Structure 1
Amino acid sequence: MDPRILKQLQENRNASRQEIADGLVETIVQIGGGPLTVRKAKDELSAVLGKARSGVPQVVGNLKKTKDMTVVISVQDLAELIAATWHRETFGEALDAIGFKPHAGGRIIVGQGRKRAPLQRSGNAGGSLE
């Protein structure tokens, strides 16, 4: 499966369903070429299925009517999409994603800082506690 589809889904987790659908159609059209008409998909069904099996999703329908469009993908790619949407990123994975590298040197010793005089109330500013 093309990683752009997974990236598009991850980036738009909090978007509306329509925004997700529009983004997916745009991404899939970029990957698999323009949308196929129903007639063309029917006439070239073997080629459409072959592309879907090789990881290139195919869009069938009218680009202006997102609700009427259909996507042909392999079962393997569907399973990958479902697993990706269920996966919750761990803190370690988030650090890896931004390129965090832990300190590779020796032990770091941090001092206690400056010694300070304890805080004291001045005058009667806080009122009497008695």
Structure 2
Amino acid sequence: MDPGIIKRVQESSSASRQAIADCLVETIVDASGDPLTVRKARDELSAVLRRARSGVPQVIGNLKKPDDLAVVISVKDLAELVTAARHQETFGEALDAIGFKPYTGGRIIVSQGNKRERLQRS
């Protein structure tokens, strides 16, 4: 899948539904070229599926009616998009995502640093 699409999905995770849709249409059309008509997609379905499986999403429909557009992508690419769209909600989830393991050994004793005189106000 085009890295630009994944980046745009990650960046737009907090945007409105319409803003995400507009952003996706623009990004996918930039990556895959002009949308196919329904008739052309039907006549060349094997080629459409082959391009989608190779990582190039296929847009079908009319750009003037963005709500009527459809996108054909592989399941592998869909999984990649879903993974990119997920975000960690807590610090603990972020630590889990990077594989952080807490220390499970014995007690750690940390001594105080050098004793210093208290600061005096003038």
Q: Same fold (TM over 0.5)?
A: yes
Structure 2, unaligned runs of 5 or more: 98-113
Structure 1, unaligned runs of 5 or more: 94-110, 120-130
TM-score, length-scaled by structure 1: 0.68
Question: How far does residue 114 in structure 1 lie from its aligned partner after superposition?
Answer: 9.7
2-structure distance, mates of 1:113, 1:31: 63
Cα distance 1:52–1:114, how it changes in 2: closer, same or farther (>3 A)? Answer: farther
- Aligned partner of 2:86 in structure 1 is 86
Deviations 1:25-58 (A, max 9, x none): 1000011111111011111111110100000000
Deviations 1:84-115 (A, max 9, x none): 22243837x9xxxxxxxxxxxxxxxxx99996
- Equivalent residue of 1:55, what SS? coil
Instruction: List, as ranges, runs of 4+ consecutive aligned residues in structure 1 with deviation greater than 2 Å.
Output: 86-91, 111-116
- Aligned partner of 1:41 in structure 2 is 41
- Aligned partner of 1:105 in structure 2 is none
The reply on whether 1:75 has 2:79 as its aligned counterpart is no
Q: How many residues align?
A: 102
Cα distance 1:114–1:27, how it changes in 2: closer, same or farther (>3 A)? Answer: farther
User: Which one-letter code corresponds to 2:23 in the other structure?
Assistant: G
1-structure distance, mates of 2:115, 2:22: 55
Deviations 1:1-39 (A, max 9, x none): 111111111111111111100100100001111111101
The reply on whether 1:28 has 2:28 as its aligned counterpart is yes
2-structure distance, mates of 1:113, 1:23: 59
Identity of matched residues, %:
61
2-structure distance, mates of 1:84, 1:3: 11
Which protein is bigger by CA-based radius of gyration? 1
Question: How far does residue 116 in structure 1 lie from its aligned partner after superposition?
Answer: 3.0
The reply on whether 1:117 has 2:120 as its aligned counterpart is yes
2-structure distance, mates of 1:113, 1:51: 70
Question: Whose relative contact order is higher, 1 or 2, with alpha carbons under 8 Å and at least 6 apart?
Answer: 2
